[in-house]
Every structure is written in C-alpha cells, then in structure tokens.
Amino acid sequence: MFNFQKKSRSVAASEDVPVAQPVVDHDKLVAEAAAIAPQVEAAEGVAKADLLDKRGELLARAGEADEAILAFEESIEAEKRMGAAYKGLTALYNQKRREAAAAKDDAATKEWFDKLQALMQSSKDMLRGK
C-alpha cells in the first residue's frame, strides 16, 4: 500500500544526473580578497564586518581556510551579528576538525571542536539577548 522501502523514480533519476561544480579560479579569488583589505582598514562597524564577510567568503571559496577563518573572526569582533561570518566559521571549524580527526591529531581535533562549541554558544547567547 505505502511502499516505504522503495525510492520514488524521480529521486532515483535525479541521483544519476551529475551536478556541475563551478570552476574555482584560486588566484582570481585571492586577488579579489586582497583588493578588499585596504577598504577594511578604512571601514568601521557594520561596513567593516560586511567587507570582512566578503573577504572571508572569497578566501573560503579559494580554499584558503586559515585566512578565511581570520577574516570571519575579525568580522565578528567588528560587529557581533548572525550571518555570513557565523555560517562560514561553522563550516570551516568543522572542516578543520574533520581534517584533524583524519590525521589522528587529538589535540587539534579538540581545539577545533572547542572553537565550534564556543561559536555555537555565542550564537545562542546573541539570540537570547545576552
């Protein structure tokens, strides 16, 4: 009657279609991020956070995780708000935690897990108005 165990044909068909991945031009993305740096120095508050978010996103897309983390962390220092910095840091902290776990580096795994936990607590506090 209900066929809970069977996949629908539309789902199965969509699994066979390859998804096109965008081509990442590392050098171009890093150059765009570098061009934002002088603007960041001159900006304050929300404008500075917006520029740092954009810089972090560009660096993350370029695969420069450590630099992207620094940009996102600086964004949160400039303007504590939910948005791109929290989303980016969550993804990057998880990526770093997985890499450390795969390398069997328990200290680094714990460090990245702790950073992730602190970020989550910060977002909860912000939502609660603390």
Q: Is residue 17 part of a domain?
A: no
Residue 57 sits in a domain whose CATH number is 1.25.40
Domain extent for 110: 22-128
- State the pLDDT at residue 4: 59
Question: 88 exposed, middle or buried (CB, 10 Å; 0-12, 13-18, 19+)?
Answer: buried
| CB atoms closer than 10 angstroms to residue 54 | 18
Q: Is residue 10 part of a domain?
A: no
Q: What is the pLDDT of residues 3-18, one digit of tens each?
A: 556 555 544 444 555 5
Query: For the chain, what is the domain count?
Result: 1
Distance CA 3, CA 64 (A): 46
Please give the mean pLDDT across all residues of the chain. Answer: 87
Q: Is residue 95 part of a domain?
A: yes
CA-based Rg of the chain, rounded to a whole angstrom?
19
pLDDT band at 127; cut points 50, 70, 90: confident
Q: Is residue 11 part of a domain?
A: no
Task: Count the alpha carbons within 13 Å of 39 in the hemisphere toward its beta carbon.
Answer: 15
Apex CA 94: angle with CA 49 and CA 80, to 5°?
25
Q: What is the pLDDT of residues 33-80, one digit of tens each?
A: 999 999 999 999 999 999 999 999 999 999 999 999 999 999 999 998
This prediction's pTM: 0.80
Q: Is residue 12 part of a domain?
A: no
Q: Is residue 81 part of a domain?
A: yes
